[in-house]
Amino acid sequence: MKLDAQIPAGPLALKWDRRRFEMKLVNPANKRKFDVIVVGTGLAGAAAAASLAELGYKVQAFCYQDSPRRAHSIAAQGGINAAKNYQNDGDSIHRLFYDTIKGGDFRAREANVHRLAQLSVNIIDQCVAQGVPFAREYGGLLANRSFGGAQVSRTFYARGQTGQQLLLGAYQALCRQIGLGSVTIFPRTEMLDLVLVNGHAKGIVTRSLVTGEITAHAADAVILATGGYSNVFYLSTNAKGCNVTASWRAYKKGAAFANPCYTQIHPTCIPVSGDHQSKLTLMSESLRNDGRVWVPKKKGDTRPPREIPEDQRDYFLERKYPSFGNLAPRDISSRAAKEVCDEGRGVGPGGLGVYLDFADAIQRIGEAGMRERYGNLFDMYEKITGENAYQRPMRIYPALHYTMGGLWVDYDLMSNVPGLFVLGEANFSDHGANRLGASALMQGLADGYFVAPYTLGHYFATAKQPKPRSDQTEFKKAAADMQELTRKLLAINGKRTVNSFHKELGAMMWEKCGMARNEKGLKELLAQIPVLREDFWKNVKVAGQNEELNQSLEHAGRVADFLEFAELLAQDALHRRESCGGHFRTEYQTEDGEAKRDDENFAYVAAWEYAGPGRAAILNKEPLIYEEVHMSTRSYK
Amino acid sequence: MNLTLKVWRQKDARTEGRLVTYQAPNVMPDMSFLEMLDVLNEDLIAKGEEPIAFDSDCREGICGTCSMIINGLAHGGMRGTTVCQLHMRHFRDGETIVIEPWRARAFPVLKDLITDRSAFDRIIQAGGFVSVNTGGAPDANALPIGRIEADTAMDAAACIGCGACVAACKNASAMLFVAAKVSHLAALPQGQIEREQRVLGMVKAMDEAGFGNCTVTGSCEAVCPKEISLDFIARLNREYGKAILKNTFPPAGKGGD
Ligand SMILES: Cc1cc2nc3c(=O)[nH]c(=O)nc-3n(C[C@H](O)[C@H](O)[C@H](O)COP(=O)(O)OP(=O)(O)OC[C@H]3O[C@@H](n4cnc5c(N)ncnc54)[C@H](O)[C@@H]3O)c2cc1C
Ligand code: FES
């Protein structure tokens, strides 16, 4: 497989300008002749669909929820980064670029990350123009807060609902285009397959989640903005419906999957309460601005937290990382929490929790001050746990949160399949091996508002492919294949529910491929997954029929894909014999337990290529060449 | 604890539905309401019965997908709480719980507890936006906005579009939903230019979708999981009144064509 990242020549800061100048354009009158399919209406998809329609393209947009406004982006709480330097605290495009590269543990592409930092400033302007109600100072200017992994205040926010407000901005822009007739929207519609004609992406096959109808749709290009795959671990902070299906089926049609083992575990989530647990809830990272993380020094100390005297507490983040303290990056904080729990010092049910204590902050700014800053989070915590965090420390534990890996894309965000573009969390492009807080929203919107609208035009102007029709054989065959797959799932009629398989897969992934990984565990996992998958295809029980609203069937299709994808994730984790960012291999650590990278052998993007059923995926490498930044050891001590 | 559930079962939009009784044994107080239903559904599937279809996604009270009436109250009636955030510790052992879908002409039932709320999207499409294309926006700080305006806008913008307001209203009115969006944009300088068109367009779309009239009973505010204030409905009425007046009696020289 040929992987050409198409990175423009010239100095880093001028690459995007240069690329925009080199790109071929589609003249305005011709734009309406091109149809674009956008799968996903989160920040990336909604922004792209609206912007492309504004330019004159004819867009069809798809999502599995009942309304595009409910995409998972809605759940983002904390904020969005931008190098505005409104606080006059020394921020700049270059600093945001550098923080992101370093935060990603030197496993991201320089050119993409620099463009992201450049576009960050336009995003805030665009969102304000749409009426996004960002937090403001008394003088009327925009307010900022700090996030992990940065020493400047560059995070813009709308109370604890930043993702919601940004998504509503994009959704409203999308609605405007739907009203104007330039976007056709297909809610409650799931993409099941990608259709290629002459090797170019020319359409998709979908299933209506209301009627079960399987339909082929043709277009001149396809954009996937279908989000991340955290739910391969079953329990995560993602919405229940988040899945890998669109990406995975595109992979099986030839799109390379990059760095699947780069998964992010968020340190501050509410711990599991029992076997019935269906998802995990994030407590925003912003809490670490005022909370102190600790566990008892003594193993198995079950006294109530307030009865444990100061000198018998271990504030382990402050102890280990004095200069960043409780604001150490996510991967580092999560691992530190796991370590103390593994030592038997965890708190709460099963010893799987650490305290996040606000007593000092409450003493400093009072309960009312805390309520103003974090009221909604404390309320949410109380709803879920029944505990009052003003009176006793929160219990938190790390959980799967975000996936840096995704479909491989070039600088134009086009995959190796011509005409298939991948945006937002679904691609692998900007966060390397670890993402910094408040950078996913930024990336989704940069991709959707400011990159794809240009690069898609270049593809149209240069590819010159004939217009596809959905009654061509390629489409008919793909639709028939999907009908057959659905039929197969329904025909098994075994003894185990879909959810029980999903749970079992999640548990083994978390145990052997979660916060810490090693060769032995990964090899065991690689032996276990195929056994579970085989059992699934023999023994799963899917209720109901195809020709109806059938949630059991929807879930079955997604779990079937997770069961295949999990193996690729584990294989990637096994092959990467180094520790970097969210990927921690216990065999590769420094004496004091920090991640040990191996730049000599692993400074590349691992892009996996589908080799056919039952065959091992083929590894392709895109070397990471750093022209501007010196690859250093990440230190937050 | 052990509970008795009476759940609305309806095969599809065309078939009539009815309440069916189920036992939910061993419910843990730490379960969410939806997790309690998940566990029941696992049992039903294992027994070869059809699981209960209900909508949910984020399960943290922000996406607005979950939607059901519990004992006659939208989202179960806990202040500021969506049903996905409602936990079983608020119920008593031995209790009987009645679970139904949103009931409104504009939200037809698709199956069991799932309804079609696309009417809300159509209302937004009729004007719930600021018409700015991507690109060319001025610097964000070029437009200072007072904290009061910004806070009012945010209070209104917090609406999650779940439809509980409609479900709770005896007239199935969508006024609180429309009021929230109209007020959000009317509070900000960015929303001024299209202020009148917006409110006229959205109210028209609301009427066309078959929502009822508002008689200001306040039941919408009481169940709103985001506690959107009834004051916004008063604002909507003012906005609408002003827009109607201006458009019925347009300034001299502009009328008559
Ligand atoms: C709880 C939480 C808090 C977060 N907080 C922050 C934060 O403060 N700051 C930050 O920067 N990031 C945050 N993130 C991360 C960030 O929210 C996501 O990475 C980002 O929103 C992803 O956007 P997206 O557009 O790529 O995908 P999504 O928003 O996940 O959208 C995916 C879309 O694809 C559709 N879709 C998926 N599969 C299919 C299919 N097969 N067929 C049809 N449609 C499909 C869905 O319907 C949906 O419309 C947070 C994440 C979580 C979970
Ligand atoms: S499932 Fe998202 S609000 Fe309840």
- d(CA B2, CA A480) in angstroms, rounded, equals 46
Average pLDDT over residues B74-86: 96
ipTM > 0.90 (yes/no): yes
CB of A434 closer than 6 angstroms to any ligand 1 atom: no
Q: Which of B126, B117, B75 is nearest to B210 (CA)?
A: B117
Q: Are A301 and A259 members of one domain?
A: no
Bridge partners (DSSP) listed for residue A397: A269
Cβ distance A276 to B191 less than 8 Å, yes or no, reads no
- Cα distance from B80 to chain A (closest Cα, Å)? 10
pLDDT digits (tens, 9 = 90+) for B200-228: 999 999 999 999 999 999 999 999 999 99
Span from the CA of B242 to the centroid of ligand 2 (angstroms): 36
| A344 shares its domain with A406 | no
> What is the arithmetic mean of pLDDT over B5-17?
97
Residue B82 CA: nearest ligand 2 atom is 4
Instruction: Determine if ligand 1 sits within 6 Å of the CB of residue A193.
Output: no
Nearest ligand 1 atom to alpha carbon A228: 30
Beta bridge partner(s), residue A36: A59, A221
Distance in angstroms (rounded) separating the CA atoms of residues A235 and A510: 9
pLDDT at B250: 62
The per-residue pLDDT of chain A, averaged, comes to 96
Mean pLDDT of A14-43: 97
Q: If you average pLDDT over residues A396-410, what whole number do you get?
A: 97
CB pair distance less than 8 Å for A171 and B124: yes
Q: What is the DSSP letter of A451?
A: I
Residue B28 corresponds to which amino acid?
Answer: M
Kindly report the CATH number assigned to the domain that includes residue A104: 3.50.50.60
CATH class of the domain comprising B118-248: mainly alpha
Query: For A453-461, what is the mean pLDDT?
Result: 98
Mean pLDDT to the nearest integer, A452-477? 97
Same domain, A180 and A103: yes
CATH for A376:
3.90.700.10
Nearest CA in chain B to A240: B57
Check CB contact of B72 with chain A, cutoff 8 Å: no
Q: What is the mean pLDDT of residues A607-629?
A: 96
Ligand that lies nearest to the alpha carbon of residue B226, given by its number in the listed order: 2
Taking the Cβ of residue B53 and every Cβ of chain A, the question of whether any pair is shorter than 8 Å is answered with yes
- Domain ends where: A430, A463, A496? A463
Share of chain B above pLDDT 70, in %: 97
Whether A278 and B147 lie within 8 Å, measured CB to CB: no
Residue A376 pLDDT: 83
Q: What is the distance in angstroms between the Cα of A170 and the nearest Cα belonging to chain B?
A: 10
Q: What are phi and psi of A543, to 5 degrees?
A: -75, 155
- Which member of A168, A276, A549 has the closest CB to residue B110? A549
Beta-carbon contacts of residue B113 (< 8 Å; ≥ 6 apart)? B7, B8, B52, B53, B54, B55, B67, B68, B99, B100, B101
A168-184, pLDDT tens digit by residue? 999 999 999 999 999 99
Contacts of A131 in chain B (CB under 8 A): 130, 153, 184-185, 188, 190-191
- CB-nearest to B137 from A125, A239, A273 is A125
The last residue of one of the domains, among A353, A380, A401, is A401
Looking at the CA of A227, which ligand is closest?
1
> What count of Cα atoms within 13 Å lies in the side-chain half-sphere of residue B141?
13
Which residue bears the tokens 């008559």?
A: B256
pLDDT digits (tens, 9 = 90+) for A130-141: 999 999 999 999
CB-based contact A547:A74 (threshold 8 Å)? no
Question: Where is the domain boundary, A385, A401, A417?
Answer: A401
β-pair partners for A622: A605
Residue B175 has pLDDT above 80, yes or no: yes
pLDDT at position B256: 46
Same fold across B3-111 and B118-248:
no
Q: How far is B110 from chain A (nearest CA, A)?
A: 8
Phi, psi at residue B12, to the nearest 5°?
Answer: -160, -175
- Is the residue at A25 inside a domain? yes
Q: Which two tokens stand for residue A637?
A: 């001590």
Residue A478, domain member (yes or no)? no
Residue A132 lies in a domain: yes
Looking at the fold, whether A152 and A269 belong to one and the same domain comes out as no
Contacts of B154 in chain A (CB under 8 A): 133, 135, 158-159, 165
Q: Is B55 exposed, middle or buried (0-12, 13-18, 19+ CB in 10 A)?
A: buried
Asked if residue A201 lies in contact with residue A418, where contact means CB atoms within 8 angstroms, the answer is: yes
Residue A187 shares a structural domain with residue A329: no
Query: Would you say B99 and B6 are in contact if contact means Cβ atoms under 8 Å apart?
Result: yes
Domain boundaries, chain B: 3-111, 118-248
Q: Is the pLDDT of residue A374 over 70?
A: yes
Residue A273 phi/psi, 5-degree rounding, is -105, -15
Which strand ranges, in their side-by-side order, compose the sheet holding B96-100?
Answer: B18-24, B3-9, B96-100, B69-70, B73-74
Could you tell me if A269 and A232 lie in one domain? no
- A277 to B35: CB separation less than 8 angstroms, yes or no: yes
Condensed to tens digits (0 to 9), the pLDDT of residues A195-250 reads 999 999 999 999 999 999 999 999 999 999 999 999 999 999 999 999 999 999 99
- Is A506 a domain residue? no
Q: Do residues A34 and A118 both lie within one domain? A: yes
Contact yes or no for B60 and A176 at CB 8 A: no
pLDDT, tens digit (0-9, with 9 covering 90-100), for A565-598: 999 999 999 999 999 999 999 999 998 788 899 9
Do A140 and A201 lie in one domain? The reply is yes
Question: Residue A628 CB: number of other CB atoms within 10 A?
Answer: 15
Res A626 pLDDT > 50? yes
Separation of CA A252 and ligand 2 centre (Å) = 32
A vs B: CB pairs below 8 A? 222
**What is the DSSP code (8-state) at residue B90?**
G
* A323 secondary structure, DSSP code: T
Tell me the mean pLDDT in the region B64-83.
Answer: 97
B67 at the A interface (CB within 8 A)? Answer: no
CA of B63 to the centre of ligand 2 (A): 5
Q: Is residue A56 domain-shared with residue A202, that is, in the same domain?
A: yes
**What residues of A act catalytically?**
330
The per-residue pLDDT for range A236-292, each reduced to its tens digit, is: 999 999 999 999 999 999 999 999 999 999 999 999 999 999 999 999 888 988 999
Give kind and range of the element (H or E) at residue A540: strand A540-541
* DSSP 8-class letter at B42: H
In A225-312, the DSSP E strands lie at 257-258, 263-269, 292-296
Question: Average pLDDT for residues A370-389, to the nearest whole number?
Answer: 90
Tell me if B224 sits within 8 A of B165, measured CB to CB: yes
- Residue numbers in A near B129 (CB within 8 A): 130, 172-173, 175-176
Residue A440 domain flag? yes
Which residues make beta-bridge pairs with A214? Answer: A207
Domain count of the fold of chain A: 2
Which secondary structure element, helix H or strand E, spans residue B130, and what is its range?
none
Q: Is the pLDDT of residue B252 over 70?
A: no
Q: Which ligand is nearest to the CA of A441?
A: 1
Nearest chain B Cα distance for residue A595, angstroms: 33
As a whole number, mean pLDDT of residues B13-42 equals 97
Average pLDDT over every residue of B57-76:
98
Nearest neighbour of B145 by CB, restricted to A125, A140, A176: A140
What DSSP state is assigned to residue A151? S
Ligand nearest to the CA of A161: 1
- Joined tokens for residue A357: 């204590």
Closest Cβ–Cβ partner in A136, A499, A543 for B150: A136
In a domain, A616, yes or no: no
Query: Does any domain span residue A579?
Result: no
* Residue A607 located in a structural domain: no
Which residues from chain B sit within 8 angstroms of residue A240, using beta carbons? Answer: 56-59
Pocket around ligand 2: residues whose beta carbon is below 6 Å from it?
Answer: B 56-59, 61-66, 82, 84
A47 close to A449: Cβ distance less than 8 angstroms: yes
Tell me the pLDDT of chain B averaged across its residues.
95
Mutate to test the interface with B, among A52, A141, A279 (most CBs of B within 10 A): A279
Quote helix, strand, coil % in chain B, to nearest 5.
40, 10, 50
Q: For the segment A333-354, what is each residue's pLDDT rounded down to a tens digit?
A: 999 999 999 999 999 988 999 9
Rounded to whole angstroms, how far apart are CA atoms A391 and A389?
5
- Of all protein residues, the one whose alpha carbon is nearest to atom 39 of ligand 1 is A226
The proportion of chain A whose per-residue pLDDT surpasses 90, expressed as a percent, equals 91
Query: From the CA of B45, how many Å to the nearest CA of chain A?
Result: 6
Amino acid at A588: Y
- Nearest chain A alpha carbon to B205: A179
Cα–chain-centroid distance for residue A245? 14
A371 and A445 share a domain? no
pLDDT at residue A329, rounded to an integer: 81
B3-111: CATH topology is Ubiquitin-like (UB roll) (3.10.20)
Beta pairing class for A35-39 and A221-224: parallel
DSSP conformation letters of A274-295: STT-----B--GGGGGT-EEEE
Q: Which residues of A touch B110 (CB under 8 A)?
A: 210, 549
Model confidence at A373, in pLDDT bands (50, 70, 90)? confident
* Same structural domain, A201 and A167: yes
pLDDT at B255: 44
**What local confidence, expressed as pLDDT, does residue B254 receive?**
47
Distance (Å, whole) CA A192 – CA A217? 11
Residues of B in contact with A283 (CB under 8 A): none
Q: Which of A38, A51, A64 to mutate to test the pocket of ligand 1 (most atoms within 8 A of CB)?
A: A64
Considering CB atoms only, which of A51, A165, A384 is closest to B134?
A51
A327, A452: one domain: no
Question: Which structural domain, as residue segments, surrounds residue A26?
Answer: 17-264+402-463
